Amino acid sequence: MGAPMAGNLLKAGWSVTAWNRSSAAAEDFVGLGGARARKVADLRNEPVIIFMLPDLSYIEDAAAGLLAEWRMTPPRPGTLVAVMSSVSPVAVQAFGRAVAEASGGNAVVLDVPVSGGTEGAQRGTLAIMAGGPKEHFERLLPVLEAMGTTVRRLGELGAGSLAKACNQLIVGITTAALAEAAELAERSGMDVESLFEVLSGGLAGSRVLDFVGPRMAAKDYAPTGPAKFMHKDLSFVLESAAAVGAAVPMASAGAELYGKLKDQGLGDLDLAVVRQTIANLSDPKVTAARMTATVQGTAR
């Protein structure tokens, strides 16, 4: 998602220098008019540094050289570090403290995760949930508005990631409920596509149903985003709930279900593949060969 997001910044007139773990994407970005950094530490003098990587551990590894540079030569005051990945609300606060220490207080972390998938990243229509000091959010806002159409500050550092965790709780549990309905309907002799069409016109209608339903009905699990990340995101819900003493029974059930999805070897497929996970749970005699056939079938 980082590539189209950076591309939209270019289209909006921003000067963008990008680093990527693989060289091909970085070369493509240069072809669009952007610049390329050979290592993250090369970005040390930029006023805004954005990270869009799979998890905070990847960001911490990528930023290690940058923080080392800042310990020797602090950045300019007010340098903004935007974490746009889906990360732990608790861990991103610790990352913020590490950045502040390494930069002598000159750099500030904001967590600004996104929702909308690859399509939203390409169209510049992402929903962006922000956490961090208000004055720094307002400085970052023009950059964020080049990538998303709904941008809100929810509170201090960690609030954006908690909002994203809540988003994923709703998406993950709704998708699981659709999967259960699909399996129940099909095993009862009903056409799933027709079921979803009529449900979309009633109270059960939702953007999740509109987006995931057709692929789930067709058993098309070609990835638009790896399903395994839902397990990670729901673990953040559980972590945050434990910190404040909130009961989250649906998140607990969802985390267990998506953990089983990963155990079944389906984690790299689309989120809609949770239907296959439920099908496998319905048939305890499912064989490894059947699961392999499912994966190969969706790869075509």
pLDDT at residue 90, as a whole number: 93
CA atoms within 13 A on the CB side of 35: 10
- Statement to judge: residues 13 and 153 lie in one domain: yes
Same-domain pairing of 118 and 179 = no
Residues 146 and 166 in one domain: no
Closest to 79 measured CA to CA, from 101, 100, 94: 100
Residues 6 and 151 in one domain: yes
| Structure-token pair, residue 266 | 């389906």
Domain end (from 157, 184, 202): 157
CATH code, 294: 1.10.1040.10
- Which CA distances in Å does 34 have to 13, 84, 154? 11, 19, 31
Note the Cα 236 to chain centre separation in Å: 12
Q: Are residues 10 and 151 in the same domain?
A: yes
Tokens at 157, concatenated: 């550092």
Question: With contact defined as beta carbons under 8 Å apart, do 200 and 209 qualify?
Answer: yes
114 and 252 inside one domain: no
Contact yes or no for 158/180 (Cβ under 8 A): no
Separation in Å, CA 118 to CA 2, 53, 72, 90: 9, 14, 38, 26
Q: How many domains does the chain have?
A: 2
Q: Write out the residue range of the structural domain in which residue 224 sits.
A: 162-299
In this structure, the answer to whether residues 62 and 189 fall within a common structural domain is: no
> Are 93 and 50 within one domain?
yes
Catalytic residues: 164
Orientation angle between helical segments 228-244 and 249-263, nearest 10 degrees? 150
Secondary structure letter of residue 105 according to DSSP: T
Distance of alpha carbon 162 from alpha carbon 156, whole angstroms: 11
Judge if 129 and 173 occupy the same domain: no
From 120, 136, 157, the end of a domain falls on: 157
**pLDDT tens sequence for the chain (300 residues):** 899 999 999 999 999 999 998 888 888 899 999 999 999 999 999 999 999 999 999 999 999 999 999 999 999 999 999 999 999 999 999 999 999 999 999 999 999 999 998 889 999 999 999 999 999 999 999 999 999 999 999 999 999 999 999 999 999 999 999 999 999 999 999 999 999 999 999 999 999 999 999 999 999 999 988 999 999 999 999 999 999 999 999 999 999 999 999 999 999 999 999 999 999 998 866 544 445 545 555 544
CA–CA distance, 120 with 60 (Å, rounded to integer)? 26
170 and 148 in a common domain: no
pLDDT of amino acid 215:
97
Question: In Å, what is the CA distance from 196 to each residue of 11, 55, 100, 214?
Answer: 38, 33, 49, 8
Same domain, 115 and 53: yes
Q: What is the pLDDT of residue 265?
A: 97
Burial class (CB in 10 A: 0-12, 13-18, 19+), 249: exposed
241 and 152 in a common domain:
no
Q: Which pLDDT belongs to residue 117?
A: 87
Nearest CA among 207, 209, 221 for reference residue 261: 221
Query: Cα(155)–Cα(176) distance, rounded to whole angstroms?
Result: 30
Task: Note the Cα 138 to chain centre separation in Å.
Answer: 23
pLDDT at 172: 98
Domain termination residue (choose one: 134, 157, 180): 157
